[in-house]
Structure 1
């Protein structure tokens, strides 16, 4: 449903407009005083704004310029009962999407709103694509391991070789898949992602291959599935090691034939898709225990890319930390310039079991809490008090390992307490899966207190 803001000093006009738009299932807010418009636009996400040209409190053109600064991606339609061609030309020059004269023709207005809404969607999609099309899909680093990874991507991305990405949770396997896609000849086509561990097995088949209307109880319409959506582009299957054996066989058949057969349909459909897979599990061990098909493994594994954990590329921590800091500065509208050497040393000393995702979460917490322009030692301790002992660690290996375990145990307890001992939410904040969290709780003897 579209959401529109209408600004006009004529209350009767606003009431008529509100009736029309609500009848057409368009959500609308109306205000008579243009001085209230800017604040309202900041609190709401409008798909289109309708703006009168002549109002007592403020000229419509002045408000148009203000909106272009505050919400530049939101199309504005100027409305007037007294203006002529010169005003229409001026409105378009000032950035208005359209200009409509009163009395309004309902069909003309509704078409203009629909077109304006479509324009906003296209602009947002374009901006997202521009963001994603950064040279290596937001991959940041300067270590030897990182540069080696980029070289592999540069070499193999232009081909259609089926690629398996391996690495621990949170290392950035999805970023590698994105970099492969956006540096390939398929870059202008869809990049579709699906996490095989996040969808129950009985639903994953439909998500991948689609289904026909009536094929099962809740199949009220045809659904094309991820393979068909990715046609011409790349399909990224994350956590493929969690896929059930029966579905593995069906996936193998699709990869061999290049055809998908939607659930409930006997008609196969041809697809042209590059498949990139990822796993944080040892698939060779799973093959030995009969939990993963050997033939599927060889089909998806023409090229294996192993993404190193963050603890093996600590040279990248300063660059990543500053990258995340500047990103969160934009998101939270704060002036955050840099990180002091002492604070950076603390960040580098930690081993990050949750890898880059954990570092990102840590920087976000600090960015929210700090009142400083430059993040210092105290900012980190404010967000993560248990870093205090970590910052004073002696660097002998045995003592370091012991202190790291101590820090990790305290940190896990802190996050569990903050999240009322909810495992899934805590695991997400730590940047690990819930199975890994259970293992760590067992390792460190962490048990849920009574009453939780």
Structure 2
């Protein structure tokens, strides 16, 4: 595809000569010798680059540059200077022009400058598309008063460097809030680094956070850059901060107090500039009372707190969320789904959603994958939620002992918890407030197996 260049100069002979030269070198060129008409042309047509003469009657190059930059800033503008106009060309670059060339320059320099400018524009457009995709993927969807208050708080705190603690049940969207704060801050465009404190063993988490030098310990075969250094200049998101060991909490506190990281095996601390956002689904004040979380660290992290209510407390957010996921997964799986029936929507509203938005997302994705309809119906939602409503599974029977009824409910509840946590044993055990060994024992007792459950 030939790139399109807009040439503006009052010297018609030079214009035609430059146009012929560029077309020989596989560019498309459009010319204008009238500065005022050039403004309308630039506004109504697509160009990859502009070559603009500095000295013209009527509107000169500086005035025209100013008008072009008001219309759009993604098209690079190269100023063409004649004898004695170099100071003006420098002024144009300070105003926003990409570069300048002289009319007496070697033609190859013109080609190189054009190619570099167009390549810069390609990168700018690709970055814009990627940012739009990221914003869509990580958008916060909802119309409830609670969500509006969260959005207002994000807008207020984003521009500061204040530490933020995000609280809420698993699956409520704590990472989305963290990303929204980062994307609306002065650090947008800098690294956003996430680490899940519950997913990494304590003995490895220190190295993941702070890094290590080669030979610092057995297995340290090369230098490792920790997440604090990777996030330097940007934002570090510590998810599930309540699972961090007390020993590591003390080291994290020192980093927050001094803005210095002590890399394992390096005696010299390294200065870092990182905004910290932490999140938890646990009750940190209770952990403090239990001696499992440092009170001084809590106060350091809890400068601004954002609490996300569970989905069951804001059912008015379910329709826009369902619509958002339907559109997203219909596009992902190339399905003709356009919406959801009112009856199906009522079923979604009445569900408990103990897995919150993550569970709703999984249900919609499952329906989209399996459906061939344009409108999702109630039967499809019921099947995605587990084949039958809860009341049918746990039906009353006079011939059933209390012990048997309790066991049935316990099995059902464990199954649902495992499902909502994608069969991750550690996460499920925490949600049930039991240890992993106890969960495995109960799964064996009730014959709960992932493969059997999926087939059912």
Change in CA separation of 1:281 and 1:413 when aligned onto 2, cut-off 3 Å: closer
* Residues 336 and 437 of structure 1, relative CA distance in 2, 3 Å threshold: farther
Q: CA deviation at 1:389?
A: 5.6
Cα 1:206–1:411 shift into 2, 3 Å: same
Unaligned runs of 5+ in 2: 2-21, 29-120, 395-406, 450-456
| Residue 384 (structure 1) aligns with | 385
2:337–2:374 contact (8 Å) kept in structure 1: yes
Count of aligned residue pairs for this structure pair: 328
1:426 is matched with which residue? 423
SS of residue in 2 equivalent to 1:277: strand
After TM superposition, give the deviation of residue 356 of structure 1 in Å.
0.5
* Alpha-carbon contact 1:339-1:375 (below 8 Å) kept: yes
Bigger CA radius of gyration: 2
1:435 and 2:435 matched: no
Q: Secondary structure at the match of 1:237?
A: strand
1:111-150 alignment, distance < 5 Å: 127-133=129-135, 137-150=138-151
> Residue 357 of structure 1 aligns with which residue?
358
Alignment gaps of 5+ in structure 1: 1-60, 62-84, 92-118, 394-404
What is the Cα deviation at residue 346 of structure 1? 0.2
Write out aligned runs for 1:36-185 (5 A): 89=26, 127-133=129-135, 137-185=138-186
Deviations 1:370-390 (A, max 9, x none): 111110112113333544466
CA distance in 2, matches of 1:369, 1:355: 22
Cross-structure match for 2:189: 188
Does the Cα contact within 8 Å between 2:421 and 2:427 map onto a contact in 1?
no
- Separation (CA, whole Å) in 1 of partners of 2:408 and 2:151: 35
Alpha-carbon offset, residue 137 of structure 1? 3.7
Superposed, 1:281-292 pairs within 5 Å as: 281-292=282-293
Instruction: Confirm or deny: 8 A CA contact 1:186 1:233 kept in the other structure.
Output: yes
Q: 1:232 aligned to 2:233? A: yes
CA distance in 1, matches of 2:344, 2:411: 21
The Cα RMSD (Å) is 3.9
Contact 2:213 2:223 in 1 (8 A): yes
Deviation for aligned residue 1:306: 0.7
Number of the residue aligned with 2:281: 280
Q: Judging changes above 3 Å, is the alpha-carbon distance between structure 1 residues 127 and 246 closer, same or farther for their aligned structure 2 residues?
A: farther
Distance in 1 between the 2:287 and 2:161 partners?
A: 26
CA distance in 1 between counterparts of 2:448 and 2:423 reads 18
How many angstroms does 1:123 deviate by?
Answer: 8.5
Quick one: distance in 1 between partners of 2:132 and 2:219? Answer: 37
The question of whether the paired residues in 2 share the 8 Å contact of 1:192 and 1:235 is answered with yes
Q: CA deviation at 1:331?
A: 1.3
